[in-house]
A and B are shown apart, each in its own frame.
Chain A
Amino acid sequence: DIQMTQSPSSLSASVGDRVTITCRASQGITNFLAWFQQKPGKAPKPLIYAASSLQSGVPSKFSGSGSGTDFTLTISSLQPEDFATYYCQQYINYPFTFGPGTKVDIK
């Protein structure tokens, strides 16, 4: 199975900050990587697929990059509604696997 890791596991940031989260795969996954946002008590919300493509309706303040084993999710200007936990996930083969999550909270 492909192992996914994320860093940091949590971070504190202020409204307006630029935030970057890193995801690493244990083996190359080309660009078959997705990012999700999850708020407490809610289902994960898809943000990005194919490492850098925005899901429909997702604002452009979210961006993704990377290929192979190293990927990043960037939020250009953090807003109150962006405080949540973010997960990466590989979908190059089964079993699909997720990172452990990065919790973004208010400084």
Chain B
Amino acid sequence: QVQLVESGGGVVQPGRSLRLSCAASGFTFSTYGMHWVRQTPGKGLEWVAVISFDGSNRYSADSVKGRFTISRDNSKNTVYLQMNSLRAEDTAVYYCAKEEYDSSAYRYFDYWGQGTLVTVSS
């Protein structure tokens, strides 16, 4: 069965960095794109970034562009989110999500991890 397990969250001071990991199992990781989505009480669910199956294409939300970088290691079945220059407004639960393709070849989410909490506070 598909499993996505996030790790790396914690409390970090503003301006510092943190790297999240998402370990995947139960599917052929190297053939699927992967996403990060975050959730805050105030702003709800916010899509953060996506990386293609082979890492050749990446897109991110304007709110994190230039600060967050998504990457993956297909030999380790893991996707990462490197978060630099963290701000208080980055405080959220971060989820990784696997994408699937619908009949029109558009990508939707079919599995989510349990999430990891990032708190940015001095």
Contacts and interface: CB of A to CB of B under 8 A. Distances in A.
A33 B47 CA distance: 14
B112 A94 contact: no
Interface of A: 32, 34, 42-46, 49-50, 53, 55-56, 87, 89, 91-92, 94-98, 100-101
Interface residues of B, number: 24
B110 A46 contact: yes
Interface of B: 35, 44-47, 50, 59, 61-62, 95, 100, 102-104, 106-115
B47 A97 contact: yes
Contacts of B47: 94-98
A101 B44 contact: yes
A97 B35 CA distance: 13
Contacts of A89: 45, 109
Contacts of A32: 102, 104, 106, 108
A43 B112 CA distance: 7
A49 B95 contact: no
